Structure 1
Amino acid sequence: MQFFHKLINWYFNKKSLPYWCVFLFDCAIVFLSFLLVYQQTYGGAKTLSVLWQLCSMCAIYAIFYAVGFKMFHTYDGILRYSSFVDLQRVGFASFIGCVFSYLGHFFLLQFNYFQNVYVGGREIALASIICVLLLWAVRVLVKTVYDVSIDTFNARPAIIFGVDECGMGLAKLVRNDKSLRMRLFGFMSNGNEVRHKVLMGLHVYSYDDVERLIHQKKMECLLVSQSSVGVFRSDKTLQDLLIANGVHIFMPRTNEEWDPAAPDATLKEVSIEDLLPRDEISIDLKSVADTLHGKCILVTGSAGSIGSEIVKQLCQFNPRELVLIDSAETPQHDIRLMMAKRYPHIKAETIVTSITGQLRMENIFCRFRPDYVFHAAAYKHVPMMENNPTESVENNIYGTKVLADMAVKYGVKKFVMISTDKAVNPTNVMGCSKRICEMYVQSLNNAVRSGKVEGCTQFVTTRFGNVLGSNGSVIPLFKQQIKAGGPVTVTDPNIIRYFMLIPEACELVLEAGVKGNGGEIFVFDMGNPVKIADLAQRMINLSGAKNVEIKYTGLRAGEKLYEEVLNDKESTKPSFHEKIRIANVREYDYSEVERDIEELIEVSKQYDDMLTVKKMKEIVPEFKSNNSVYEALDASTDTAKA
C-alpha cells in the first residue's frame, strides 16, 4: 500500500504528461485494437503467419486515427482532469479515424504486400468500437485513480454549508480542483425538510449533527456557499463550536479579494472580518456611474485606507481624470504603481504634498479644475492627536478649510468630507477636530446656498465608525500580537466598537456624496456593536494559537468605552438608502464659525497644548475630555459656571 501511495504521488505530482506522450499512447491503443480484432477473427496461427504485414497495416490505420486526434486535439487535455467533453472529443476523433480507415482499406488492398492480410468493413467497425472504449476507459481509469488516491491519502474531510445551487457549484469546484486537497462527505442545512436526504451522492446533515461529524467523520473543513454567507455570519454559536474544535472555515473569494500570492485561488480561509455579523450592502451603482463618468475627481488622503479604496472604486466609473493627493511618499508611490498596473486607461496625477499648503492647493485646483472632491485626508489616531493637538488643528481643521475654500473658488460641484463617529460628543482632540470640520463645511454650504458666499459647491459630510483592517486599527494589531505569541492587549473588558468593511464604507460614501443635496451630515448604519474582548478571544481561537493571553491595559487618553453615532440632542431622518440616515444637527452661522476657526489657528501657532484645546472646547462645548490631562480644563469650566 505504501508503494502504491508513493507511485501515485510521484505521477500525480507532475503537472501533466507531455502532449506527444498522450498522442503516441492513443495511437498505440488504435494499433492494438486492430491487432486484437484480427487475432480474434482469424485465429492466432494466421495472425502469426502474416504478422509483419498485419503490423504494417495496423500502423497505417493508426495514422488515419491520428488525423482525427489532431483534428479534435484529444491529446491537449490532462488525463486526470478528463471530463465528458474530453470523452466526446475522443468519440468524434475515433469516428473520423474509422471513416478514413474504411476508405483507405480499399486502397491498401491494391498493394501485393497486403494481399494476404484482409481487413474488411466489419473488422474496421469492430476495431473502432474497441478502440474508443479503450480510449475512454484509460481516461476514466486515470481520473478515478487520481480521485481515489487524493481522497484516500491527502484530502481533508470537508462539508459544504448551504443546500442550493451555490452549494452544488462549490461541490463541483472541490471535486474538480484537487489542489484544494479536500474530500467532501456531505452538505449541511438548517432546514429539517432536507435532513437525511442525498444530494450529488452526498448526505445532507443538520446543525444538530455538527459535533457528531467532528468526532465521527473527523471533519476538518467547512465550506460556506456564497448564498449562505449571511446565515453563517449570524450564527455565532456554530462558529464558536467549529473554531473551538479546530475546523477550518472557507468562503468563496470575491473579485475584490484577489490575492497576488495565490492568483488562481477561488476559496479563502476566513479571517475574523468574515465572521463579524453584518448585513449585505448594495448601492445604486448606475446613479453613481452616471454622475462620476467622465469627470475630474480629486481625492485627498489617497494613500490611506479609506482614500485608496475610494480611488479603486472610482476607477470602475471611468472618470476623465483622477487627482490624487497625499503627504506620505511611499504609500503614494504604491498608489501610483497600482494605477499604472491595474488602471492604465485612466489618467491619474499622483501628487505628494500636504493639504495645509494653501498656495500649492490653489495651484492644483486652478490647474485641474476638479468636478468632485472626496476629502479623506486626516490625522486619525486618538492617542497621537491627544499628544499633538496643534498638529490636529493644522492638518484636520486648517487643511479642511483650505480645501473647502478652494472648492468654492474654483467651482467644484460637490465636496464630500469623511468624518467619524468620534465627532459625536467628542472626548478627545481628534474627534473634536473633526466636529469643527463638520461645522465649517456645513455652515459654508448654507452660506453658498443663501448667497452670502458666492459659489455653487455643495458640501456633504459622511460620518461612520471603525473600518475593518484600516491602517493602525485593532484587528491588524491583534494579528501581530497573536503571531508574536501574545499577550493581546485590550484597553478595557467592556469596551465596544462598531465595525464596517472598508469597501462597504466607501460604497456608501460614494452614494451619499453623489445623491446628497448639500449641507447633510450622513450617518451610516454600522450594525451591531462588537465587544473588543470577545473579538480578541475569537481571533486567538481562529488562529489556532495556544497559550495566548489577553491583557487589559486601561483606557487610553481620550478614549471612551463606546462610540456614539449621534449626540443626545440629535435625531435622524431616513434618506435614499436604508443604511444611510441624515443627522438633524445644530447648524451654525458661517461667519461665526470662520472667525472661531481663524482664532483657533492663531492660538495653535503658539504651540501651547492647553490653550489650543481650551479654544477647541469653546467652539465645541460638548467636548468633554476623558482620561486625559485636558480634563483639568473641564473642571475649571465647571467651577467657573458654579
Structure 2
Amino acid sequence: MTQKNEPENKMNEVNVLLNLANIRYLPRYIIIAIDVFLIGVSTFFSFKILEKVLNHSDFIAESFAGYALIIAVSLFYMYVFKTYAGIIRHSTFYDLLNLLWCIVATTFTLWALSGVYNMVYDHSVPENISFFIVFFFFSFSTLFMFRLFVKEMFRWIKEYKDNSLKKRILILGISDYSVAIANSIIESHNLQYKLKGFLTKRNDSRNAKIFGLDIMTQDTFIKTPKEELEIDGILILKENLSANELTEWVNLFLEKEMEIFQAPLVEEFNPEKIHTNIRSFQIEDLLNREPICIENEEVRLIHENKSVLVTGGAGSIGSEIVRKVASYKPSKVVVVDQAETPLHEIQLEMNEKFPDIDFEFILADITNKKRLESIFTKFNFDLVYHAAAYKHVPMIENNPHEAVWVNILGTQNLAKLSVLYNIKTFVMVSTDKAVNPTNVMGASKRSAELLVQSLQFLPENKTKFITTRFGNVLGSNGSVIPLFKKQIEAGGPITITHPDIVRYFMTISEACELVLQASTMGKGGEIFVFDMGKPVKIKDLAIKMIKLSGKEPEKDILLKYTGLRPGEKLYEELLSDNTKNLPTPHHKIMVSMDPHKEYNEIKDLLEQIENATLSHDNNQIVRILKNMVPEFISNNSIFEKLDR
C-alpha cells in the first residue's frame, strides 16, 4: 500500500511547489512595505551598534521624527530609482545597481539634512558620520540579502520541482561510452532524467564511484527491493550488449517493473542533442539482431546515375527502398503505387529530404499492362524493384482472384516488360509464406517466384531476375507490433490467434538492405534468403510489450486467443525441406535452390488461372494454384476440400 501511495504523495508535494513557483510576482506595495521595514530595522541596529561602540545616542535614531525622516527620504529615492519595479526572482546586476544608488542617495541626503540641522540648532555631533556609514552598509546589505533570498528560494523551488518530476535512472555499464552519456545527462539541466548511478555485472567496481555516483552490481540490484532502490528506470546502451545479454537484462528490469530507456548509438551521439536522442525502449530493440552490413560501394555503384523504378513505393518496404536508393544519387527514381494518399505522403517526404534527386510519382495499378508499358516507354530504367503486392493472409484467402491479379499477373506484366525493354536487374520482394504455402497469399507469391525464375532462362532475356525472401517486418502496415500497441493503448485485450504461434521478425531497414544487397550479388534466377535468427513466440512478444508499457499482463491487459485465421499456420519456414542452401560472400545471406519450372509450363498455367480469375471461380483459381505449386496444402481454410 505504501508503494502504491508513494507516487501520489510525491505528486502532491510537487504540486505544492508548482503552485509556489507559479506565483507571478509580489505586488509592488508589498515589496515597498518590506523594504521600509528593512530600512527601519537597519536604522535601529545602526543606532544600537553606535550606542554600544561609541556610547553615544544620535538624534536621528532617538525620536519618532528621526525614523519618519529616514523612511520618508528612503521612500522618495525608492520611487526615483524604481527599486520596487523589478521582479525579485529575476533580479539582475541592473537592479542591484539601482538599489545601490538608492541607498547612496538616501545616505547622503540624510547626512546633508543632519548637517543643516546641526548648523541651525548649533549642535556639534561629529559621530553622525559614523551612523551614516553603518546605516549605509546595514540598509544596503539587508535589502540586497532580501532580494538574494527570494531569488535563491525560487531557484531552489524550481530545481526541486524539476528534480521531483525527473525520472531517476541508472546507466547500464561503465564503459567510456557509458561515462560520456552520463556526463551529458549531468550537464543537461533541462533533461527529464536524473542520473543516480551506474549498474554493472563487474564486482571489482563495488566501492568505486564515477562523478561521485555509486556503481551498483547486478547481485545488489537483484537482491534490493524496488522501493529501496529509489530508481524509476534504466538507460541501456544496446550496442554494448550481445543479444543474450540484452534479453537477460531486459527480463530482469521488467521483473523489477522498471522503465527501460535506449541511449543513442555511438555514431549518432551528440552531447548537445542528448535530450532528443534518449528514447523509450521498444520491443523492436529487443528483437533486433546483428544488423546486416551491406557493401556500400557496390550498392552505390549499381544505383549512382541510374534510372530506378520502385513498384509499391508508397508501402512499408517500398518506401524504405525509395529512401535508400535516393541516398545513392540515382539519375531518376520513379515511384509507382495505387494508394493515392500514401503516395502523396512519400512524395512530400522525398522532395523535402532529397531536393536534388529527380523523382516521378505515378498513381498506377500494376495489373494495368498498357499503363505500365507507357511508363517503361517513357523512362529508360536500369533497375526495377518490385514490392507491390497484396499480403494480408485472411483477406487474400477470401479474395483469391485479387491475389492472382496483383501478385501473379501484375508481376508477369512487370517481368515481361523488363525483358522487352532490356532492364538490367529486376528484384522481386517475396515472403517466407511462399515456402510450403498453406494459404492463397503464400501460394500466389510462390507462383510469382516461379514465373520470374522461368523468365531468366528465356533465350531472348538479358535481365537478371532476383528474388528476396524474408519474414515478418517490424512496423510494416498491418504487422502485429503496431496492432498490439494500439490494443495496449486502448486498455486491451491483446488478441493472439494461438498461444503457440511463432514468427520470424526483421526490421524494415534490414529487409531493404537485403533487397539492395541482392541487387549486387545476384547473377540471375536466385532466391536469396536472410538468416532471420530464432523465431519469436507471439505470446511472449505480447507479454513483453505489456510490461514495457508499464502494465501487468492478465491484470491490466488481458490476452485473448481467437484461433488460427484462414490459411494461417503456427510456424513459418524460410527454406523448403527439399532444398539445398548455398552460401554467399555475406554470412547472413544464403541462396535457396528451390526447384523451378520451364516458362512454357508456367505460361499454360497462367493462361488457365487468368481465365478462372475473369470468371471469379475461386475454387478453380485455387485448384490451378495447387497445380502451379504442388506443395501448397491449405490449412484452416474452405479450400482444404481441394486437397482431398
* TM-score normalised by structure 1 residue count: 0.75
* CA deviation after TM superposition for structure 1 residue 389, in Å: 0.8
- Does structure 2 retain, via aligned residues, the 8 Å contact 1:575–1:582? yes
User: Matched residue of 1:222: which SS?
Assistant: strand
Per the alignment, residue 69 of structure 2 pairs with: none
* CA deviation after TM superposition for structure 1 residue 237, in Å: 3.9
How many angstroms apart in 1 are the aligned matches of 2:601 and 2:487?
47
* CA deviation after TM superposition for structure 1 residue 404, in Å: 0.5
Gaps of at least 5 residues in structure 1 are 13-20, 36-43, 53-136, 636-642
- Does structure 1 retain, via aligned residues, the 8 Å contact 2:318–2:387? yes
Question: Cα 1:6–1:550, aligned 2, differ >3 Å: closer, same or farther?
Answer: closer
How many angstroms apart in 1 are the aligned matches of 2:626 and 2:162?
67
Per the alignment, residue 523 of structure 1 pairs with: 529
Whether 1:565 and 2:574 are equivalent positions in the alignment is: yes
Whether 1:225 and 2:237 are equivalent positions in the alignment is: yes
Per the alignment, residue 287 of structure 2 pairs with: 276
How many angstroms apart in 2 are the aligned matches of 1:23 and 1:237?
50
* CA deviation after TM superposition for structure 1 residue 326, in Å: 0.5
Deviations 1:267-312 (A, max 9, x none): 1111211222522332212221122111111000011111111111
Per the alignment, residue 465 of structure 2 pairs with: 459
* CA deviation after TM superposition for structure 1 residue 504, in Å: 1.2
What letter is aligned with 2:239?
A: S
Per the alignment, residue 190 of structure 1 pairs with: 201
| Alignment RMSD | 3.5
How many angstroms apart in 2 are the aligned matches of 1:256 and 1:465?
28
| Aligned partner (choices 331, 355, 358) of residue 320 of structure 1 | 331
Per the alignment, residue 173 of structure 2 pairs with: 162
Residues 238-249 of structure 1: pairs in structure 2 closer than 5 A = 238-249=249-260
How many angstroms apart in 1 are the aligned matches of 2:455 and 2:549?
49
- Does structure 1 retain, via aligned residues, the 8 Å contact 2:565–2:636? yes
- Does structure 2 retain, via aligned residues, the 8 Å contact 1:289–1:317? yes
Per the alignment, residue 627 of structure 1 pairs with: 636
How many angstroms apart in 2 are the aligned matches of 1:323 and 1:368?
8
Residues 141-160 of structure 1: pairs in structure 2 closer than 5 A = 149=160, 152-160=163-171
Question: Cα 1:161–1:146, aligned 2, differ >3 Å: closer, same or farther?
Answer: farther
Question: Cα 1:193–1:286, aligned 2, differ >3 Å: closer, same or farther?
Answer: farther
- Does structure 2 retain, via aligned residues, the 8 Å contact 1:356–1:399? yes
Question: Cα 1:516–1:272, aligned 2, differ >3 Å: closer, same or farther?
Answer: same
Residues 61-460 of structure 1: pairs in structure 2 closer than 5 A = 149=160, 152-211=163-222, 212=224, 214-225=226-237, 227-228=239-240, 230-231=241-242, 234-253=245-264, 265-276=276-287, 278-447=289-458, 452=459, 454-460=460-466
* CA deviation after TM superposition for structure 1 residue 330, in Å: 1.0
- Does structure 2 retain, via aligned residues, the 8 Å contact 1:157–1:184? yes
How many angstroms apart in 2 are the aligned matches of 1:165 and 1:143?
37
Residues 570-585 of structure 1: pairs in structure 2 closer than 5 A = 570-585=579-594
Per the alignment, residue 474 of structure 1 pairs with: 480
* CA deviation after TM superposition for structure 1 residue 369, in Å: 1.3
Per the alignment, residue 500 of structure 1 pairs with: 506
Question: Cα 1:487–1:5, aligned 2, differ >3 Å: closer, same or farther?
Answer: closer
User: Matched residue of 2:190: which SS?
Assistant: helix
Question: Cα 1:263–1:325, aligned 2, differ >3 Å: closer, same or farther?
Answer: farther
Deviations 1:70-95 (A, max 9, x none): xxxxxxxxxxxxxxxxxxxxxxxxxx
* TM-score normalised by structure 2 residue count: 0.75
How many angstroms apart in 2 are the aligned matches of 1:330 and 1:552?
34
Structure 1 vs Structure 2: percent identity of aligned residues? Answer: 43
User: Matched residue of 1:523: which SS?
Assistant: strand
| Aligned partner (choices 585, 592, 602) of residue 593 of structure 1 | 602
* CA deviation after TM superposition for structure 1 residue 507, in Å: 1.0
- Does structure 1 retain, via aligned residues, the 8 Å contact 2:17–2:161? no
- Does structure 1 retain, via aligned residues, the 8 Å contact 2:184–2:274? no
Per the alignment, residue 547 of structure 1 pairs with: 556
How many angstroms apart in 1 are the aligned matches of 2:286 and 2:233?
16
* CA deviation after TM superposition for structure 1 residue 576, in Å: 2.2
* CA deviation after TM superposition for structure 1 residue 160, in Å: 0.4
* CA deviation after TM superposition for structure 1 residue 477, in Å: 1.3
Question: Cα 1:241–1:175, aligned 2, differ >3 Å: closer, same or farther?
Answer: same
How many angstroms apart in 1 are the aligned matches of 2:15 and 2:470?
61
* CA deviation after TM superposition for structure 1 residue 232, in Å: 6.8
- Does structure 2 retain, via aligned residues, the 8 Å contact 1:371–1:412? yes
Between 1:271-280 and 1:431-440, the stretch displaced more is 271-280
How many angstroms apart in 2 are the aligned matches of 1:320 and 1:2?
58
- Does structure 1 retain, via aligned residues, the 8 Å contact 2:14–2:164? no
Question: Cα 1:461–1:146, aligned 2, differ >3 Å: closer, same or farther?
Answer: farther
Between 1:532-541 and 1:398-407, the stretch displaced more is 532-541
Per the alignment, residue 92 of structure 1 pairs with: none
- Does structure 2 retain, via aligned residues, the 8 Å contact 1:326–1:351? yes
Deviations 1:420-451 (A, max 9, x none): 0000001110001111111111121122xxxx
Per the alignment, residue 77 of structure 1 pairs with: none
How many angstroms apart in 2 are the aligned matches of 1:147 and 1:278?
43
Question: Cα 1:279–1:368, aligned 2, differ >3 Å: closer, same or farther?
Answer: same
* CA deviation after TM superposition for structure 1 residue 630, in Å: 1.0
- Does structure 1 retain, via aligned residues, the 8 Å contact 2:434–2:446? yes
* CA deviation after TM superposition for structure 1 residue 537, in Å: 1.4
What letter is aligned with 1:464?
A: F
Residues 50-65 of structure 1: pairs in structure 2 closer than 5 A = none
Between 1:400-409 and 1:269-278, the stretch displaced more is 269-278
Deviations 1:534-564 (A, max 9, x none): 1111112222245321111111111110000
How many angstroms apart in 1 are the aligned matches of 2:381 and 2:267?
27
Between 1:184-193 and 1:531-540, the stretch displaced more is 184-193
- Does structure 2 retain, via aligned residues, the 8 Å contact 1:253–1:265? no
* CA deviation after TM superposition for structure 1 residue 26, in Å: 5.1
- Does structure 2 retain, via aligned residues, the 8 Å contact 1:233–1:277? no
Deviations 1:550-582 (A, max 9, x none): 111111111110000011101211112121111
* CA deviation after TM superposition for structure 1 residue 597, in Å: 1.7
- Does structure 2 retain, via aligned residues, the 8 Å contact 1:224–1:232? no
| Aligned partner (choices 472, 484, 508) of residue 490 of structure 2 | 484
Question: Cα 1:182–1:530, aligned 2, differ >3 Å: closer, same or farther?
Answer: same
Bigger radius of gyration:
2
